[in-house]
Amino acid sequence: MSQQNPLNYAKAIQYQLAAIATPVPVYANFNRNFASQPKFITWQLRNVHQPVYTGQNQNNKGIDKPIFQINVFAQDMNDAFNISNSILQSLHGYNGLFGGSSGFQISKADVDWLYNTYDNTINLHHIIMDCTLYIPT
């Protein structure tokens, strides 16, 4: 099936994370200007990939399984864990409309809570999660 536009993935991820974490701000990638904020979320999209099967038909592909990494930053460790838990509870195993009314249907979201750490240079607790989307095409 045809490849979808990753820009639409990005828009949907931004919308969905903002809807889950509100009023905590959500940004694509890290911006050091935001480090003065007590808590915020950034994300990065990667691994947009449909398996390609044999033959010359460009549409002979499987479903898309992009991954986006979620970075939760907070000055207070409790905040970092609570925000991460909100995302985990909302997204893990979710299927349905992703990204609001202008988004798209996903078959499943699979969240992998990777690890928490502390960034000494910006004095923020940091929790990293991966979320895999299964997008039928």
> Which residues of this protein are in contact with other proteins, per CB under 8 A?
1, 51, 53-57, 59-63, 65, 108, 136
For residue 122, give the DSSP letter. Answer: T
- In angstroms, give the least distance from the CB of 6 to other proteins: 19
- In angstroms, give the least distance from the CB of 107 to other proteins: 9
- Report the DSSP pairing between strands 39-46 and 108-119: unpaired
- In angstroms, give the least distance from the CB of 93 to other proteins: 11
Which positions ≥6 away from 106 have C-beta within 8 Å? Answer: 94, 95, 96, 97, 98, 133, 134, 135, 136
Cβ proximity to other proteins, 107 vs 117, nearer residue: 107
Cβ proximity to other proteins, 22 vs 60, nearer residue: 60
Cβ proximity to other proteins, 23 vs 55, nearer residue: 55
Handedness of CA 9, 128, 115, 21 (dihedral sign): negative
